């Protein structure tokens, strides 16, 4: 980013990440004043989009797309929902005071590199602490409780004592009229990290109460290694889907399917391999991994030994044996499959022999 101006600042996550020596996902810039007029006056910049009510602008400069926000203050007329803009072009200090934690409330001058730290973010970075900026922070925006969890596991930080108390007091008196869409975004970002300690804290600190009124205890089996090994597409739902109540979340169809398939699994603890295979083969791998909290041995055995077993014979092969298509085909496949599951190295010819045996062909 080559635009430099005495009123243009890097702000929030990017400043925090640089101080922590971490790579930032996106670069947020704030202009101390009206970003839109500022952008219009940048020589050789192309304005791509203007969002007047928010005072933000997207420009193209030297082939790079850059977002610039105006400093703004916000209020929460409806607690737990999106804030509304109070003033655009407020002071930089007012802008940082609307933010979540001190570590996210620092600005860095694009011109001099000076760090502007009104709230003690530098000190908190040094002490690895997450501290809210005011006592109503979680009441205004309870998604910040999940954000704190996310940052704590991402950076190895703890809540400072007072912030911890504010969290406890909010969780003891939750206002369930909140934006679950926003909450879900934070839950997804947190649990997609696949860090078991996040789930541990989520349960131990009773953060799950934001979703579920019933009590919930931490499963004794840590499935993060299974997730690492089998790389399911949809990680967060493996964690959150275990909660007794998630109907408030605006899940996608695929996520709903994963949770429903998990809830429908019915297997006895001494189920045979064939039954395990039949149960798990046609459901999403996420649901299978979820089931490891109920029976990890069964799931590990399925994933490591049974998952990839497939029959090589097809309907055409049976037809070639002179058998007319009927529902017997499926019975034959099941018969061969049962054998193959106990002898996975079976060859095509062995499968044909078993099919012949099934139809009593000599």
- Alpha-carbon gap, residue 145 to 134, rounded angstroms: 14
- Write down the least CB distance from residue 147 to ligand CTP, Å: 6
| Least CB distance to ligand CTP at residue 66 (A) | 15
Q: Are 140 and 168 in contact (CB under 8 A)?
A: no
Residue 81 CB neighbour total at 10 angstroms: 15
Q: Which of 143/279 has CB closer to ligand CTP?
A: 143
Task: Name the pairing type of β-strands 129-130 and 115-117.
Answer: unpaired
Distance (Å, whole) CA 93 – CA 293:
48
Q: Which is nearer to ligand CTP, 147 or 201 (CB)?
A: 147
Measured CA to CA, the distance from residue 81 to residue 241 in angstroms comes to 24
Question: What's the CA gap between 192 and 235, in Å, rounded?
Answer: 5
DSSP 132: B
Indicate the residue among 13 and 55 with the shorter CB distance to ligand CTP.
13
| Closest separation in Å from C-beta 74 to ligand CTP | 9
CA distance 174 to 139: 8
Q: Which is nearer to ligand CTP, 72 or 147 (CB)?
A: 147
Do the bridges between strand 106-109 and strand 8-11 make them parallel or antiparallel, or are there none, so unpaired?
A: antiparallel
Q: Which is nearer to ligand CTP, 149 or 303 (CB)?
A: 149
30 or 295: whose CB is closer to ligand CTP? 30
Query: Per DSSP, which regions of 93-251 are E strands?
Result: 106-109, 115-117, 129-130, 158-159
Given the rule CB under 6 A, which residues bind ligand CTP?
12-13, 25, 28, 99-100, 104-105, 141, 143-144, 147
Cβ distance to ligand CTP smaller for residue 29 or 261: 29
What is the distance between the alpha carbons of residues 359 and 362, in angstroms, rounded to a whole number? 9
Residue (105 or 149) nearer to ligand CTP, CB? 105
In the complex, least distance from residue 7 CB atom to ligand CTP, rounded to whole angstroms: 19
Q: Which is nearer to ligand CTP, 136 or 342 (CB)?
A: 136
Q: Give the nearest distance from C-beta 20 to ligand CTP in angstroms.
A: 10
CB of 28 to ligand CTP, least distance (A): 6
Smallest distance from ligand CTP to CB 232, Å: 22
Determine the residue with CB nearest ligand CTP. 13
CB of 22 to ligand CTP, least distance (A): 9
Please state the closest distance from residue 148 (CB atom) to ligand CTP, in A: 10
Q: How far apart are CA 319 and CA 91, in angstroms?
A: 79
As a whole number of angstroms, the distance between CA 223 and CA 42 comes to 52
- Cβ neighbours of residue 330 under 8 Å, at least 6 residues apart? none
Phi, psi values for residue 132, rounded to 5°: -75, 165
- Distances 129 to 11, 12, 71, 195 between C-alpha atoms, Å: 19, 16, 26, 19
Residue 273: phi, psi to the nearest 5? Answer: -55, -40
């Amino acid at each position: 980013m080559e635009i430099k101006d005495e009123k243009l600042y890097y702000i929030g996550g990017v400043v925090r990440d640089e101080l922590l020596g971490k790579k930032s996902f996106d670069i947020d810039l704030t202009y101390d004043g009206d970003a839109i007029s500022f952008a219009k006056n940048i020589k050789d910049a192309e304005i791509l989009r203007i969002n007047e009510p928010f005072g933000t602008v997207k420009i193209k400069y030297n082939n790079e797309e850059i977002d610039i926000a105006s400093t703004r203050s916000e209020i929460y007329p409806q607690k737990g929902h999106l804030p509304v803009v109070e003033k655009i072009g407020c002071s930089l200090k007012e802008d940082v005071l609307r933010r979540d934690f001190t570590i996210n409330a620092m600005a860095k001058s694009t011109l001099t590199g000076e760090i502007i730290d009104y709230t003690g973010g530098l000190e908190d970075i040094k002490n690895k602490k997450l501290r809210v900026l005011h006592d109503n922070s979680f009441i205004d925006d309870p998604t910040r409780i999940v954000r704190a969890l996310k940052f704590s596991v991402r950076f190895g930080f703890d809540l400072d004592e007072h912030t911890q108390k504010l969290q406890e007091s909010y969780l003891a008196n939750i206002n369930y009229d909140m934006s679950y869409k926003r909450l879900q975004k934070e839950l997804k970002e947190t649990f997609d990290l696949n860090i078991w300690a996040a789930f541990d804290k989520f349960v131990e600190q009773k953060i799950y109460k934001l979703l579920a009124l019933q009590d919930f205890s931490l499963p004794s089996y840590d499935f993060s290694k299974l997730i690492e090994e089998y790389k399911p597409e949809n990680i967060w739902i493996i964690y959150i889907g275990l909660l007794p109540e998630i109907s408030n979340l605006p899940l996608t169809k695929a996520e709903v399917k994963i949770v429903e398939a998990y809830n429908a699994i019915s297997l006895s603890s001494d189920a045979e391999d064939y039954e395990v295979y039949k149960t798990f083969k046609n459901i999403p791998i996420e649901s299978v991994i979820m089931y490891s909290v109920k029976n990890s041995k069964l799931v590990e055995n399925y994933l490591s030994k049974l998952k990839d077993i497939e029959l090589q014979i097809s309907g055409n092969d049976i037809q070639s044996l002179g058998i007319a298509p009927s529902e017997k085909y499926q019975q034959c496949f099941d018969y061969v499959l049962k054998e193959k599951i106990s002898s996975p190295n079976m060859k095509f010819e062995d499968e044909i022999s078993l099919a012949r045996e099934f139809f009593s062909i000599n």
